Structures are given as C-alpha cells and as structure tokens.
Structure 1
Amino acid sequence: MSRKKLTNKKKLLINGSIFIAILLLIGGIYVSNLYTKTKNIVNESHEKLERDEDKSNLRAEKVDPLQDNVSVLFLGVDTSEHRNYGEKSRTDAIILATFNKQKSSVKLLSIPRDTLVYVPEVGYNTKINHAHFHGGPDATVETVEEFLNVPVDYFVRMNFEAFVQVVDALGGIMFDVPYEIVESNSQDQKNTIHLLPGYQELDGEEALALARTRKYDSDVDRGKRQQEIIKAIAGKATSMGSVFKLGNVIEAIGDNMKTNLSFDDMKSFLSYGLAEDISLETIQLEGKGGYIQGGWYYIIDEESQLQVQKELRTHLNLSPTANPQLTIN
C-alpha cells in the first residue's frame, strides 16, 4: 500500500475520531446543562406538604424512591395565566401512579373528578376535585388517602399551560382520536379546536382539548383517555428523537409545576425510564353517575373500590388488608 493511501486512511481515521469526540463533547455539555437546568427548576418548584415528619400517615417510615416502592399523585389543575385561579383552582385530572422497583412496573389509576368522596378538610362528602379548592395539594392528598387507603408519598401538580407547552416542546404526540370533537382552547375560546377521528399528530392545545372534553362520553372514559395521553407523552419524551428537546420540555414546566419531590428523588425514577421491560398498566374504578340533592356525582362501586385498594397496596408491597381506622364513605 502506498504512503499516500496510508496517509489518506490515517486522515480519515483522525477526522472520524475528531467528529465522534466533538459529538460526545456536545452531548456532554448538553447533558450537563440539562442536569443543571432541571435541578434549578425542581428546586424552585419544590413545595412540602404540611404533614408530620414529611411522610404519609399510612407509612410507618419515610420512603426512599431509590429503594422503595412509592406512589405519586399527579394533579392537573384548571388554572392558567388566563384563568388565574391560583390556589382556588379545582383539579381537572387526578391520576395516582404506583411504582414497583422489583417488577419494574407502574400502575396508573384515574379518579373521575366528580367522584363522591369524604373530604377531611371540610368534613363532609363532596366531589373529589373540590378538595384542591378548599386546601390545595394537602387536602387532595389527604382525601385520596382516605378514599383509597393507599399512601400518597409524592404529588406533582401542573396547570394547563404546562401541559400545552410540554406537548409542543416535544413536537406533538401521535394519538388515535376516537371521534370528532369541537372544543374550547386553553384560553376558553369556544369552538377553536376541531378534531376528526383517526390516528394523527396532536399539538398541545389539541391534546389538552381531547384530554379535557366530557361532552362525548363519560367521566370514566375521559379518565381512560387521559391515561392514554400521558402514556403517549411519556413514550415521546423517552424516545431517542426527543433527547435534544428535553431542555425545552423542562423550560415549559418551569413555574407551572409544584411538587414535593426533590431533585434526588426525581433522579431515582430514572431506572423506570431506562428499563426495557417496564410494564405500564392502567386500572379503573367502576361506578355510575347520578344526581344527589340536585348535583351530579360519580358513585364508586364499593366492591370495585376495595379491589383497587387491594391491587395498589399489593403493588406497593403493603398488606392488602384494609386499615380498620379508615372507613369507606
């Protein structure tokens, strides 16, 4: 082989190595900046619950998400810069997620917003989405624990703006729209969102309209749609094509999120995102709607409630036996 061919081959090898090194360097810088940005936003969004020892009353000890099976209550609140309800907002979506380390699995339970429950904050039965209006995340966490006899270790509260901006930051999500819908957008402008049935790409406003609409089916079906939309967002966020979009996603969350998860707590959930065999299961509460003293409520079937309690407690490696101190209201 001639010296010229060796030289060209050597140059190609060197140039290729430099190119790879530059990519690794850019990736390292990006990851470093993303890490710092995430840490700052999580620290700014941190909000403790007002409970003793910073742990659920249904726990003997404080949990560590790095080692223990834990639960996270996701709250979507019906407020935004346009609505400006602040702490007096109601929850438009309530989803309890339990995480099992050993099985690398997640269970998602959507609680219909009109579910009739006992709200300890006010001392009487009312719709579960009213708990946040009366006492914010603290009252909602307490109500969910009373209702399900399942410890709520953490909460994440996001508003409409965060939802819309997160989906847009990911470049939209693919979703199978079940039927034609005409809905308002996040600014409450009527009939501005029009979707036809079929598998299609949705932007943030369209995904929000589909997640919120209740005109075309039941509150239970609405909860199922919300679970599927969350799965679609999670799938897009963890795809390789979205790696360089995560910075925009984090910025979108910004001031629109409150959580009692610390930055180290959040890092503990990374193992679920990296697991190739992770199982994500959605479960439902069975019941029926009806009018009580002039108001419409969703009444949960007692047997279904007990079954869901047992399933979630078992998933957390807790005794499936109901706590005798808690009663079903």
Structure 2
Amino acid sequence: MTHPPAPRIAGLRALQAFGLSLSALSLGGFALLSGAGPSAAAAVTPGQAPSFTLLIAGRDIVYCYYRQPCKDQDQRTGLAQPPNTDTVMVVKVQGTTVHALNIPRDTNVGPFDRYRSVALQKINSQYFSGGPEALVKAAETITGEHIDSYVIVRTDYVERVIDALGGLDVTVPEPGIEWIDNAAGVNLNLAPGAHHLDGKDGVLFLRVRKGFGDDYGRIDHQKQALTQLAGKLRTPQGLAALPTILGGIGNGVETNVNPATIAAMRPYLSQMKLSFATLPTDDIPGTFNLAVNRERLAQVWGDVPATPPNPDLKVTVVDASGENLGPALTRALTALGYRNVQVTPAPRSGEASQVFTQQDVADAAQLADTLNLARLQGERFPVSAGEVGILLGADAAESLAGLKGLGAPTIP
C-alpha cells in the first residue's frame, strides 16, 4: 500500500541501510533460543540480570553462477562474488539496558598498513577471509570490547521475518527511489512519501543507498528499522511470528550463542531500554578506509552519566502520532524545565517513536529515560549541536498514552 507523498521529515525516518542487522538485534535473540551450533560462554548467573556482548552481522547470499545462488550458502570457493558483511553491530546487554554500536563497513582493523591490501584491512572483508571468528576478533580490535558470541544472518532470512511481522513502514525521501539491476533481479521503484513494504521490497529498500547519502546515513536509518521491528515483537502478531523466527537457525542464521544466555533475558524483555550509536571514525588519507576515533567513541556509546534537564536545550518534536500528541508533550516537557520546545506536525507514521541526536548524547539519554523511548545517535540525523529531536510515531498513542490526559493548556 502506498500513501500520498508526505512533507519531508528529513533524516528522521527514511529507513534503509543493508537491513540485515535489524533481524539480528530485534529478532535474532529469539532465534537463538533453539541453540544451534556450539555454545559460547557468556556472563550469565542464575537469578541475576544477564550481562554479555554479542556481535551481529549481516551477510550477502553467495552466488555460484549468474543470478543463481549456491546450493551450499556456506561454501567459500567457486563463487561469483564473496559474501561481505556490510552490516556489523556490537550489542552490549547489561541487565535491562541494551547498547548497540554500528561499525561502518570501511572501518580499518587495527593500524593502517600501506603495504597490505586496502580492501582486506576493512572489517567487511573479515568474514569471507576467516569466518565468524575472524570477524569477532576484528570487532574486538576496533572497539576494545570482549565479545562473547556472534550471530550472522542472511538477506533471505530478513525477508521471511519482515513478512512474519506484518511488513515494514518506511518513508522515502525526495526525489524517490529507483533501483534497477537486472543482473541481480532487482526492480524497486518507490515514490517519495510513506510506504508499507512486504519482506521482498523491504529487504531491497533496506539495502539501497540512493537517496540516503553515505554509509553513515544508511546506518542511521537502519537503527530506526531495528526500533520499529523490536516494538512489533511485543505484540500478539510478534509472538505469533516466533515459529518463523526460530526457523532461521541453519537456514539463514549462523550462531554460536549459548541458548541459556537468551533464556536468561526473557524475564527482562519487556523492560529493555535500547540505545544506538555509530562508531566515530576519521578518514585515512589516500584511501576510503576509516580509523576509529576512540576519544569520541567514549562519548557516544555505553553508559551515559545522568544529567538534569538542560533548560537551554532545543527540543524538536516531529508529531507523526496521528493523535496530535505534540502539544501535550510540549506542555509536559515545559513542566520538566525545558524552555525551548518546538513541534512540527507530520503525517501519521508507523515508524517507532524515538529520541535522536548527533552529539548531545547525555541530553538525549535524559529525555529517552524520561519518555522510556529508544535513543539513537548518528552522524546524519537532521539536528544541530545543542538540539535533540523526538519522533512521535503511531505507537506513541499507546506508549505515551498519558499525554492524552494532559488536556488543553490552562489560560490564566
């Protein structure tokens, strides 16, 4: 179903990216309950909230001939193209807090070596050259985090899961998307505005780059897709989709996770608070490779110290709730001490409500905790320094139902 073009909500919502990690983070945990593959240890103590770190990556389908997928999707020889992992994410679970860090595909593993192949130093080539273990080691080198286990998912699995969850709501920016690749069997044509996509078109949309800028831009929108699908898992439809999700093990999902790790999470799933960030990087001169900026990494990822409301912070609310909740949220935030709150009405959107920022992570964390919304940090969100945005999607009518009771402002 396609709706008429909507006014631009800029980079707030245009879901795209490779789209593989969306199934892994919001869905993969459930898929792991069947416990395929050898178990990897994680810091899980009976009776205590789980604490572990997980590598999530999305890989291509491998082709042995022109437009013909290999029968054995795990083979490494005789391929028409190698299976890169252009989506890589490190997820740190600490009780009910879940931090997710996207690693750009061109990030260099370790110090750049001008005598080695430039391509082979990128993180997206590590899976093909050394399997999941090499990819895990590369992510540990880049982030400095110990990783307990991994989940690798394929695009065909993502397609099945999106269909099982009832599709994906997206907003296409101007001037629209046209992606035709006869060799790959791709034909995607979407006008600007809101769309509800099935699994097949959803995967294509999540892989396309046109209209979304560079790799950082598509990573940012990938986070929004994750937030939307994670919310669907809590619905009756999401629970009904579990058989499809669980069926991915050995048929689109490769993992070594100990099932006890995920089982320990089940009592905490409804309380989980999500935050997303993108690995900060610097250009490596003379190459397309990127070097991790560790100083900035410490500022945007992980636990952010609690801060009181910043009265000078600019808060931009994009009200796509369909319930006109923006004015009520403005009054609530004003009562909390925020003096500069602006509301922009937008057409009703099925995308998940969220708090987003570029560099004001602590202020965004404060708002996200107050509203119990996911927090997204990225390089390409349309907010400036000293500004935090809030997208109110259709789910706000339920998740922020208390706003309806605030009523109209009292005029003295």
TM-score grouping bracket, smaller chain normalisation = 0.5 to 0.7
* Counterpart selection for 1:256 from 230, 252, 256: 252
Q: Could you list the per-position Cα deviations for residues 277-306 of structure 1 after superposition, in whole angstroms to 9, with x for gaps in the alignment?
A: x311111223355663xx522343343235
Structure 2 partner of 1:11: none
Structure 2 partner of 1:76: 58
* Counterpart selection for 1:200 from 195, 202, 205: 195
8 Å Cα contact 1:155-1:261 kept in structure 2 = yes
Q: Could you list the per-position Cα deviations for residues 197-243 of structure 1 after superposition, in whole angstroms to 9, with x for gaps in the alignment?
A: 33331222222223222333111111112222122222222212332
Q: Could you list the per-position Cα deviations for residues 14-68 of structure 1 after superposition, in whole angstroms to 9, with x for gaps in the alignment?
A: xxxxxxxxxxxxxxxxxxxxxxx978x834x3245xxxxx55xxxxxx5117634
Structure 2 partner of 1:174: 169
Please give the secondary structure, in 2, of the residue aligned with 1:193.
Answer: strand
Q: Which amino acid aligns with 2:43?
A: V
The reply to whether residue 63 of structure 1 matches residue 28 of structure 2 is no
* Counterpart selection for 1:228 from 216, 224, 234: 224
8 Å Cα contact 1:70-1:99 kept in structure 2 = yes
Change (3 A) 1:131 1:124: same
8 Å Cα contact 1:116-1:299 kept in structure 2 = yes
* Counterpart selection for 1:106 from 87, 98, 104: 98
Q: Which amino acid aligns with 2:302?
A: L
Q: CA deviation at 1:269?
A: 2.2
8 Å Cα contact 1:97-1:109 kept in structure 2 = yes
Looking at structure 1, the residues matched to 217 and 247 of structure 2 have their Cα atoms a distance apart, in angstroms, of 31
Q: Which amino acid aligns with 1:286?
A: P
The reply to whether residue 239 of structure 1 matches residue 235 of structure 2 is yes
8 Å Cα contact 2:178-2:190 kept in structure 1 = yes
Q: CA deviation at 1:188?
A: 1.9
TM-score (norm 1): 0.67
8 Å Cα contact 1:150-1:313 kept in structure 2 = no
Cα RMSD over matched residues? 3.3
Question: Larger C-alpha radius of gyration, 1 or 2?
Answer: 1
Looking at structure 2, the residues matched to 170 and 264 of structure 1 have their Cα atoms a distance apart, in angstroms, of 25
Q: Which amino acid aligns with 1:280?
A: L
* Counterpart selection for 1:281 from 266, 271, 275: 275
Change (3 A) 1:153 1:197: farther
Q: Which amino acid aligns with 1:228?
A: Q
* Counterpart selection for 1:298 from 282, 290, 303: 290
Change (3 A) 1:186 1:246: farther
Q: CA deviation at 1:175?
A: 2.7
Q: Which amino acid aligns with 1:74?
A: I
8 Å Cα contact 1:75-1:93 kept in structure 2 = yes
Q: CA deviation at 1:254?
A: 4.8
Can you give the 5+ residue segments of structure 1 that lack an aligned partner in the other structure?
Answer: 1-36, 49-53, 56-61, 316-329
Question: Larger % of helix: which?
Answer: 1
Can you give the 5+ residue segments of structure 2 that lack an aligned partner in the other structure?
Answer: 1-29, 77-82, 306-412
Please give the secondary structure, in 1, of the residue aligned with 2:184.
Answer: coil
8 Å Cα contact 2:31-2:249 kept in structure 1 = no
* Counterpart selection for 1:86 from 54, 70, 74: 74
Q: Which amino acid aligns with 1:140?
A: L
Change (3 A) 1:207 1:140: same
Looking at structure 2, the residues matched to 233 and 252 of structure 1 have their Cα atoms a distance apart, in angstroms, of 16
Q: Which amino acid aligns with 1:46?
A: G
* Counterpart selection for 1:155 from 135, 150, 163: 150
Structure 2 partner of 1:269: 265
Structure 1 partner of 2:341: none
Looking at structure 1, the residues matched to 87 and 182 of structure 2 have their Cα atoms a distance apart, in angstroms, of 15
Change (3 A) 1:162 1:264: same
Change (3 A) 1:231 1:187: farther
Q: Which amino acid aligns with 1:70?
A: F
- Number of positions where the alignment pairs a residue of Structure 1 with one of Structure 2: 256
Please give the secondary structure, in 1, of the residue aligned with 2:146.
Answer: coil
Q: CA deviation at 1:271?
A: 2.9
Q: Could you list the per-position Cα deviations for residues 140-177 of structure 1 after superposition, in whole angstroms to 9, with x for gaps in the alignment?
A: 11111111111111211111111111111222122333
Looking at structure 2, the residues matched to 149 and 38 of structure 1 have their Cα atoms a distance apart, in angstroms, of 27
For residues 115-194 of structure 1, the aligned pairs below 5 Å read 115-118=107-110, 126-179=121-174, 180-183=176-179, 188-190=184-186, 192-194=187-189
Q: CA deviation at 1:124?
A: 8.0
Change (3 A) 1:118 1:79: farther
Change (3 A) 1:181 1:300: farther
Please give the secondary structure, in 2, of the residue aligned with 1:166.
Answer: helix
Looking at structure 2, the residues matched to 119 and 167 of structure 1 have their Cα atoms a distance apart, in angstroms, of 38
Structure 2 partner of 1:33: none
Please give the secondary structure, in 2, of the residue aligned with 1:74.
Answer: strand
